[in-house]
């Protein structure tokens, strides 16, 4: 299992819209997330930033992320979510959410 922490800004005028979207995540999106071996997925909000945490349990992360990105329903979902978000300037090339470095973990 591999843990991921990701961060992105949330546009101030889109906070409520984003929260409302996530109160009613489409079942097909949730199904795709699980099929791509992601579990324990949580998104937190604080002071204009979103922080997500999830655990990846598969054996080919890149392939599973390509599968998710190719899913037409997920693409429609992202089309609603992305206008609410503002990526960090310091993210790596190709990232939307910036992957964070894990500096501590306790089981």
Specify the CATH number for the domain of residue 13.
3.30.70.1090
Confidence category of residue 9, pLDDT binned at 50, 70, 90: very high
CA 69 to the chain's CA centroid: 12
Residues with catalytic function: 22
67 domain residue, yes or no: yes
> Quick check: is 106 in a domain?
no
Range of the domain at 48: 2-99
The verdict on residue 104 lying in a domain is no
Q: How confident is the model at residue 92 (pLDDT cuts 50, 70, 90)?
A: very high
Number of domains in the chain: 1
CB 18 within 8 A of CB 81: yes
Any domain includes 107: no
- pLDDT (tens digit per residue) in 18-43: 999 999 999 999 999 999 999 999 99
Considering the domain boundaries, does residue 7 fall inside one? Answer: yes
- What is the overall mean pLDDT for the chain? 97
> 37: alpha, beta or left, given left = phi > 0 and alpha = psi -120 to 50?
left
């Amino acid at each position: 299992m591999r843990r991921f922490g990701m961060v992105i800004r949330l546009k101030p005028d889109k906070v409520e819209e984003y929260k409302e979207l996530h109160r009613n995540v489409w079942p097909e999106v949730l199904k795709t997330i699980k099929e791509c071996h992601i579990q324990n997925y949580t998104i937190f909000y604080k002071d204009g930033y979103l922080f997500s945490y999830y655990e990846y349990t598969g054996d080919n992360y890149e392939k599973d992320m390509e599968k998710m990105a190719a899913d037409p329903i997920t693409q429609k979902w992202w089309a609603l979510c992305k206008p609410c978000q503002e990526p960090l300037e310091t993210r790596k090339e190709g990232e939307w959410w910036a992957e964070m470095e894990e500096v501590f973990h306790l089981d």
